[in-house]
């Protein structure tokens, strides 16, 4: 089975967060900004629970965009964002080197904005032989239409699209995997909507006889 068709495992993935900064989030119109932030925090916490290497890169943090959003940084406190000028992370030597240094060939990408920094990096990493998955609900575009068109372009090129909850469930796969059970369940309960409510209910109200 090729890497491109195999299910995700904690041993083969790295997470790249691109420009998850408030100044850029202000311009997002493709998704409710609070939902976008919650999805990205859930994804970052998922990476932490499963031990995925995380690379974060920011741009114009001192003059416009601001730092990595605090709620995201709190989920991955040991990750120091790499500042760059180029819109394409893959064309920044330090940021690309940090991704390469993870030793992982499957790259999960979450970022702003879908039409530019996410698209450019995903296509470039794909061209360099990476299996690239864009976590679409942890990315934001200027409009719903431009976000959708960016995703369609990526998918046509061979980039895979996924969601933060699919990433978490694919990494966990078996709720008897006790080493990640508590962490994964806590993320779903906090950010998983009705599914999370159901898990919390099951924990608190349903008891074996």
Instruction: Compute the distance between CA of residue 142 and CA of residue 163 in angstroms, rounded to an integer.
Output: 19
CA distances to 5, 118, 150, 203 from 153, in Å: 20, 12, 5, 42
- From the list 60, 173, 163, 58, the residue with the least C-alpha distance to 108 is 163
Q: Is the peptide bond prior to 113 cis by the omega test (within 30 degrees of 0)? A: yes
- For the beta carbon of residue 118, count every other beta carbon within 10 angstroms: 30
Q: What does the block give as tokens for 124? A: 């470039």
Choosing from 13, 117, 121, 139, which is the catalytic residue? Answer: 117
- For the beta carbon of residue 4, count every other beta carbon within 10 angstroms: 11
Catalytic residue status for 139: no
Please give the positions annotated as active site: 117
């Amino acid at each position: 089975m090729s890497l491109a068709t195999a299910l995700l495992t904690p041993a083969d993935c790295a997470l790249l967060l691109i420009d998850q900064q408030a100044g850029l989030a202000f311009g997002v119109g493709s998704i409710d900004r609070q939902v976008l932030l919650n999805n990205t925090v859930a994804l970052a916490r998922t990476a932490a629970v499963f031990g995925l290497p995380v690379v974060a890169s920011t741009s114009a943090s001192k003059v416009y965009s601001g730092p990595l959003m605090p709620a995201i940084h709190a989920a991955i406190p040991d990750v120091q964002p790499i500042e760059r000028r180029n819109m394409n992370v893959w064309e920044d030597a330090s940021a690309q080197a940090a991704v390469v240094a993870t030793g992982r060939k499957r790259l999960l990408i979450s970022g702003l904005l879908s039409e530019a920094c996410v698209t450019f990096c995903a296509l470039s990493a794909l061209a360099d032989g990476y299996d690239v998955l864009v976590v679409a609900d942890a990315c934001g575009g200027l409009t719903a239409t431009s976000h959708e068109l960016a995703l369609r372009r990526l998918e046509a090129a061979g980039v895979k699209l996924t969601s933060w909850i699919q990433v978490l469930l694919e990494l966990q796969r078996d709720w008897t995997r006790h080493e990640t059970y508590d962490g994964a369940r806590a993320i779903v309960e906090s950010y998983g909507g009705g599914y999370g409510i159901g898990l919390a209910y099951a924990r608190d109200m349903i008891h074996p006889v």
